[in-house]
Amino acid sequence: MHTVRVAVIPGDGVGPEVVSATLPVLRAAAHRAGAEVDTVELDWGGEHYLRTGRAMPPDAVDVLRGFPAVLFGAVGRPDIPDHELIWGLIIGLRQALDLAVNVRPVRSWPGVRTVLREPDGIDLVIVRENTEGEYAGVGGRLHPGSPRELGVEVAVHSRAAIERATRYAFVLARSRRGRVSLVTKSNAMRYGYTLWDAVCAEVAREYPDVEWESVLVDAMAARLVQRPRDLDVLLCGNLFGDILSDLAAVLGGGMGMAPSANLRPDADVPALFEPVHGSAPDIAGLGIANPVACMLSGAMLLDHVGLPEAATAVRDAVAHALRDPSLHPADLGGTATTERFAAAVVAAV
Ligand code: NAI
Ligand code: MG
């Protein structure tokens, strides 16, 4: 039997709730495909930080290197400064493992109502450069506590990082509707984003079958709301990809619906799968979190480890449950608990 070893980091808030709703679904789907999911749970995140002063242990990256894939819930607690956990865990891992792209598919689901008026809904993938840009971590605070206090945050855009994200987007577009929309702000930011435009134009020559355009991020925000169906693959730097992901997630049904994968296509490092949403402290502990984003992240994980039939089984089972409004969790306007929804998805698998 094919055994897939998965490191699981449930994290904080709704993280553990959506992860524990997801694991039985992945197990059932893998089983159907003649495989087994063997999980090792890691107690990293807020609790770990309070106990040790770090969100994860110093050898965390070595621990993860022993796995082909990681399933991560979310981090973030009201009693710990956000940047400590975000940098101490998820951004730290993206950089340390050099997880080049964050892939965030968003689509509409039959049975799920959204704010969109368009009957065609939305079906796109955000490909976000995942290691530098505005989240490079370059900068500092000067004169702390004095009236002259100063914060400097430098965006870093390297040709190498742009190129690998761009190539990923073009290859992906080929397997979809063949359109890449590069998202920049190269009218106002003259150095980094003009480099994105130039590199994208170069890479595009290798993919003459893929149409591409460069769109300013503010215009893209408007277009996403007005005509999302025209968009196929959105290629973004780190900050714009982060922001537009939440907007797109809501157009597709809500924060509880959007999955993601952190990947490095050219190297043998673990890939990390996580919902786009955070730890949702406003609903944590109530048992009402929507686990779909985490389940679909799990489906991406199964695809990644070579179990595409199992991945399809997860997506089909989620789609099946979503067609029944009595199973909808609160964010979709229903009254079902996380557990009830999860049980229905396991049964459908
Ligand atoms: P959030 O995504 O946690 O929540 C935004 C809104 O969406 C809230 O109203 C929440 O209830 C709702 N929501 C999120 N996930 C949901 C789900 N599965 N089902 C139903 N509703 C859901 O973003 P927010 O509030 O900005 O951040 C909360 C904490 O999460 C912060 O500490 C933040 O730093 C952290 N965070 C962590 C991330 C990660 O670990 N990758 C990503 C984003 C935020
Ligand atoms: Mg985000």
Could you give all domains of the chain from N- to C-terminal order, each with its CATH number? 1-99+261-349 (3.40.718.10), 115-251 (3.40.718.10)
14 lines ligand 1 (CB under 6 A): yes
Q: Could you tell me the distance, in angstroms and rounded to a whole number, from the CA of residue 72 to the centre of ligand 1? A: 13
Contact predicate 4/37, CB 8 Å: yes
- Catalytic entry in 98, 230, 246, 316: 246
131 lines ligand 1 (CB under 6 A): no
Which alpha helices (H) appear in the chain, and where do they start and end?
A: 15-32, 46-52, 60-65, 82-85, 91-96, 159-174, 192-204, 217-226, 238-251, 292-304, 308-322, 338-348
102 lines ligand 1 (CB under 6 A): no
Q: 22-51 burial string, b = 16+ CB within 10 Å, else e?
A: bbebbbbbbeebebebebeebebbbebbee
The C-alpha atoms of residue 55 and residue 324 are separated, in whole angstroms, by 39
Question: What's the DSSP call for residue 12?
Answer: S
* pLDDT interval class at 251 (50, 70, 90): very high
123 is catalytic: no
Mean pLDDT of 22-49: 97
Per residue in 136-165, pLDDT tens? 999 999 999 999 999 999 999 999 999 999
Radius of gyration for the chain, computed over Cα atoms and rounded to the nearest angstrom: 20
**Would you state the pLDDT for residue 254?**
95
ipTM greater than cut 0.90 = yes
38 is catalytic: no
Cβ neighbours of residue 201 closer than 8 Å, sequence gap 6 or more: none
Instruction: Evaluate if pTM is beyond 0.90.
Output: yes
Mean pLDDT of 115-141: 93
Per residue in 158-212, pLDDT tens? 999 999 999 999 999 999 999 999 999 999 999 999 999 999 999 999 999 999 9
**Would you state the pLDDT for residue 117?**
80
Residue 118, pLDDT > 80, answer no
**Would you state the pLDDT for residue 9?**
98
Cβ neighbours of residue 45 closer than 8 Å, sequence gap 6 or more: 9, 10, 11, 12, 15, 55, 56, 75, 85, 89
Contact predicate 288/338, CB 8 Å: yes
What is the residue whose two structure tokens read 């996380």?
Answer: 338
